[in-house]
C-alpha cells in the first residue's frame, strides 16, 4: 500500500489520534478541563491530570487511599473496562503518547531494514511482561520502603515530556528548557529507539507502558468471553504478509493469528488485508 492509500484507509483512526491530542494534552486537554470544571478545580488542565501510571503505582505500592477520589484512577479503570469490551481502543485510537511516537516513526523516511521488528509475539510478550513485573516490583519496593529506590513513574515520564513539548509548541518556550537525566533517557527511548528505530513506532507502548499491559490483559479476558476483538479467517488468507507489515505492535504471529496480549485494535490489519481475512467484531 502506498502512504496515501494507508492514510485513506485508516483516516478515521488518524483523525481520532489527532483528536486524542486535543482531548488529553494541554493547553487544550478538553477532558481534564471538563473534569476540573465539574470538580471546581483551579489546577491547570494537562496530560498529568489523567496520569497513566501513578494510580497503578499506588495500587501495587500499597497506597490505596490515594486511589480514592483520584480522577486518574477513574480514568485508568475506564480505559481497562473499555478494553475488556471493545479491545484496547484507547491505545490504538486515542493515546497521545503512542500516537506521537507512531507519527514520528511513520513520518521518518527510514528504510525498514534499519528498523527493529520482533517477528515472534512470544518474545515481544516476554519483554513486555518483564517490564510490567519490574514495574510492580519497583512500586512495591518504593511503596513499602523495602529498599532505597526511586519510582519509575515520574522519573521516566513520557506524559511529562509530551506536555512540555506541547507547551513549547504553543509559545511557552520555558517548558522545554529543563531536562533531567530521566527525561533525556525517556525522550530517546520513546521517540528515537521506540519511535524511529522500531517498526510501527510503538516501542514505548510495547515495552514500557503499564496501562498498555493492563489494557491488553483486560482485552485478553474479554476476548475469551466473546467480546470485541480482531479475528483472523485462515480461509481467506493469501499469505501476502501485508497484515504483519502494517501492525504497529507486532501482534500478528507467523501463522497470522492476532495476539490479544499485544493487539491495540487499531484495525491497520483489517484495512491492509486485500482479502478481508481480518475482521473486528464479537464472537465466541
Q: Is 3 in the site for other proteins (CB under 8 A)?
A: no
Among 31, 50, 54, 191, binds other proteins (CB under 8 A): 54
Among 64, 114, 144, 179, binds other proteins (CB under 8 A): 179
Distance CA 247, CA 243 (A): 6
Among 170, 174, 233, 238, binds other proteins (CB under 8 A): 174
Q: Is 31 in the site for other proteins (CB under 8 A)?
A: no
Q: Is 170 in the site for other proteins (CB under 8 A)?
A: no
Residue 33 vs 229, nearer CB to other proteins: 33
**Rounded to the nearest whole angstrom, what is the least distance from the CB of residue 216 to other proteins in the complex?**
15
**Rounded to the nearest whole angstrom, what is the least distance from the CB of residue 247 to other proteins in the complex?**
19
Three-class HEC string of the chain: CCHHHHHHHCHHHHHHHHHHHHHHCCCCCHHHHHHHHHHCCCCCCCHHHHCCCHHHHHHHCCCHHHHCCCHHHHHHHHHHHHHHHHCCHHHHHHCHHHHHHHHHHHHCCCCHHHCECCCCHHHHHHHHHHHHHHHHHHHHHHHCCCCCCCCHHHHCCHHHHHHHHHHHHCCCHHHHCCCCHHHHHHHHHHHHHHHHCECCCCHHHHHHCHHHHHHHHHHHHHHHCCCCEEEECCCCCCCCCHHHHHCCCCCECCCCCECCCCCCCCCHHHHHCCCCCEEEECCC
Candidates 148-156, 216-224, 242-250, 271-279; binding stretch for other proteins (CB under 8 A): 148-156
Candidates 3-11, 42-50, 191-199, 220-228; binding stretch for other proteins (CB under 8 A): 42-50
Q: Is 149 in the site for other proteins (CB under 8 A)?
A: yes
Q: Is 277 in the site for other proteins (CB under 8 A)?
A: no
List the x/- string, 108-147, binding to other proteins by CB under 8 A: ------------x-xx-xxxxxxx-xxx-xx--xx-----
Segment 223-242, which members bind other proteins (CB under 8 A)? none
Among 94, 153, 264, 277, binds other proteins (CB under 8 A): 153
Interface residue list for other proteins (CB under 8 A): 41-44, 48, 54, 57-58, 66, 120, 122-123, 125-131, 133-135, 137-138, 141-142, 148-156, 174, 177-182, 184-185, 207
Amino acid at each position: 500500500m502506498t502512504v496515501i492509500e494507508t492514510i485513506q484507509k485508516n483516516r478515521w483512526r488518524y483523525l481520532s489520534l489527532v483528536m486524542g491530542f486535543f482531548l488529553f494534552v494541554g493547553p487544550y486537554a478538553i477532558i481534564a478541563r471538563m473534569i476540573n470544571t465539574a470538580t471546581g478545580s483551579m489546577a491547570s488542565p494537562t496530560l498529568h491530570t489523567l496520569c497513566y501510571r501513578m494510580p497503578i503505582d499506588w495500587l501495587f505500592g500499597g497506597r490505596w487511599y490515594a486511589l480514592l477520589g483520584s480522577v486518574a484512577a477513574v480514568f485508568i479503570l475506564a480505559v481497562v473496562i473499555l478494553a475488556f469490551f471493545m479491545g484496547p481502543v484507547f491505545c490504538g485510537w486515542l493515546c497521545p503518547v503512542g500516537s506521537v511516537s507512531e507519527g514520528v516513526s511513520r513520518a521518518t523516511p527510514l528504510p525498514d531494514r534499519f528498523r527493529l521488528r520482533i517477528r515472534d509475539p512470544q518474545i515481544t510478550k516476554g519483554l513486555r511482561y518483564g517490564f510490567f513485573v519490574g514495574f510492580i516490583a519497583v512500586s512495591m519496593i518504593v511503596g513499602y520502603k523495602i529498599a532505597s529506590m526511586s519510582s519509575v513513574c515520574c522519573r521516566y515520564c513520557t506524559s511529562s515530556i509530551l506536555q512540555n513539548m506541547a507547551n513549547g509548541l504553543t509559545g511557552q518556550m520555558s517548558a522545554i528548557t529543563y531536562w533531567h537525566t530521566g527525561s533525556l533517557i525517556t525522550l530517546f527511548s520513546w521517540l528515537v529507539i521506540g519511535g524511529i528505530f522500531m517498526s510501527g513506532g510503538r516501542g514505548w507502548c510495547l515495552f514500557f507502558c503499564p496501562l498498555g499491559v493492563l489494557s491488553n490483559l483486560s482485552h485478553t479476558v474479554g476476548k475469551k468471553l466473546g467480546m470485541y476483538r480482531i479475528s483472523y479467517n485462515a480461509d481467506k488468507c493469501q499469505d501476502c504478509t501485508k497484515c504483519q507489515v502494517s501492525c504497529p505492535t507486532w501482534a500478528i504471529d507467523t501463522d497470522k493469528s492476532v495476539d490479544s496480549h499485544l493487539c491495540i485494535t487499531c484495525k491497520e490489519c483489517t484495512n491492509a488485508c486485500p482479502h478481508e481475512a481480518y475482521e473486528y467484531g464479537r464472537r465466541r
